C-alpha cells in the first residue's frame, strides 16, 4: 500500500537480518522519487558494510544516503524533503525519536527500516518505541538457514559457533557472520528465560 497523505506519517519496516528490510525501504524511496517527491535517505555513519554514501540491501538494491552520527543533524538535512528514509534505525541513539516526531509535525512521510530484535532475540535499541509510534508497520521474514522454514531471528556466529548472551550487542569489525533462523534453531548460549519486565 502506498501512502498519500498531507499529514506526517511514520512507516516502520522491520524483521530479522536477510528479510529484505533495506530492499523494501529502497523500493518505497524510489517510488517517492517517481512521484516527484523531494526524497532523502539517512543511514548511521557506523554502517559502512557495502557503501559509505548509500543504503544497500544484501541483494544489491541501493539508494544514495547521507551518513549521520548525530540524529539532530537530520532536521537540517531534511528541511526541504517531503519523504525521509532512515535505514538501520536500531543503531541510532534515543535522540532519533524526538527528531522523527519533529519531522512528522512538519508533515513529512518518514520511512524507517531496522532490526526489531538483536542477536539475543531481545528488542533492539529504539525500535520498540518506533514500532509503537508507527502509523504503519511492515514485518518481514527471512528463510531459516538450517531448516528452510520462516525465520524471525538473527543468529550471530563467531568462529562458526553461536554468540553467547553476554557478547556485545554491536561488534563493529568483528570476525562474525549472521544467519536468519527460525525460533527452533535460534541459539543463544548463556541466555536464561525470564518473565517479562516492565
- Residue in 11, 23, 24, 88 annotated catalytic: 88
Contact 44, 145 (CB under 8 A): no
Q: How far apart are CA 133 and CA 137, in angstroms?
A: 10
pLDDT score recorded for residue 93: 94
Q: 7 pairs with which residues across the strands?
A: none
- Kind of pairing between the strands at 142-143 and 150-151: antiparallel
Strands (E) located in 16-97: 39-44, 54-56, 62-64, 66-68, 83-86
152 in a domain, yes or no? no
Q: Is residue 194 part of a domain?
A: no
With CA atoms as reference, report the closest residue to 116 among 129, 103, 100: 129
pLDDT at 141: 98
Residue 146 inside a domain? The answer is: no
Looking at the structure of the chain, the number of domains it has is 1
- Residue-level pLDDT at 169: 81
88 is catalytic: yes
Q: Does residue 96 belong to any structural domain of this protein?
A: yes
Note whether residue 134 is domain-resident: yes
At 126, which CATH number?
Answer: 3.40.50.300
Residue pair 102/75 in contact by the 8 Å Cβ criterion: yes
* Domain encompassing residue 64: 9-141
Residue 32 in domain: yes
In 3D space, the residue among 23, 1, 48 whose CA is nearest the CA of residue 142 turns out to be 23
Verdict on whether the full-model pTM lies above 0.85:
yes
Residues of the chain below pLDDT 70? 1-6, 47-61, 171-175, 194-198
- Residues 128 and 4 sit within 8 Å (Cβ to Cβ): no
Any idea what DSSP says for residue 13? E
Residue 169: inside a domain, yes or no? no
Calpha distance 10→42 (Å, rounded): 15
Is 158 part of any domain? no
Instruction: Please give the pLDDT value at position 46.
Output: 76
Amino acid at each position: 500500500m502506498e501512502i498519500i497523505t498531507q499529514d506526517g506519517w511514520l512507516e516502520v519496516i522491520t524483521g530479522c537480518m536477510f528479510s529484505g528490510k533495506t530492499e523494501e525501504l529502497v523500493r518505497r524511496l524510489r517510488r517517492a522519487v517517481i512521484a516527484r517527491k523531494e526524497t532523502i535517505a539517512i543511514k548511521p555513519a557506523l554502517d559502512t558494510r557495502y557503501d559509505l554514501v548509500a543504503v544497500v540491501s544484501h541483494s544489491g538494491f541501493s539508494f544514495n544516503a547521507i551518513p549521520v552520527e548525530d540524529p539532530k543533524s537530520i532536521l537540517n538535512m531534511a528541511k526541504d524533503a517531503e519523504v525521509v528514509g532512515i535505514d538501520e534505525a536500531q543503531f541510532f541513539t534515543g535522540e532519533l525519536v524526538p527528531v522523527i516526531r519533529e519531522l512528522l509535525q512538519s508533515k513529512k512521510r518518514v520511512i524507517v527500516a531496522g532490526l526489531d530484535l538483536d542477536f539475543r532475540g531481545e528488542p533492539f535499541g529504539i525500535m520498540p518505541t518506533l514500532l509503537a509510534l508507527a502509523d504503519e508497520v511492515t514485518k518481514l521474514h527471512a528463510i531459516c538457514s538450517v531448516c528452510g522454514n520462516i525465520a524471525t531471528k538473527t543468529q550471530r556466529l563467531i568462529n562458526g559457533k553461536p554468540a553467547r548472551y553476554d557478547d556485545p550487542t554491536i561488534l563493529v569489525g568483528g570476525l562474525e557472520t549472521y544467519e536468519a533462523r527460525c525460533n527452533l534453531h535460534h541459539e543463544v548460549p548463556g541466555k536464561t528465560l525470564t518473565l517479562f519486565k516492565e
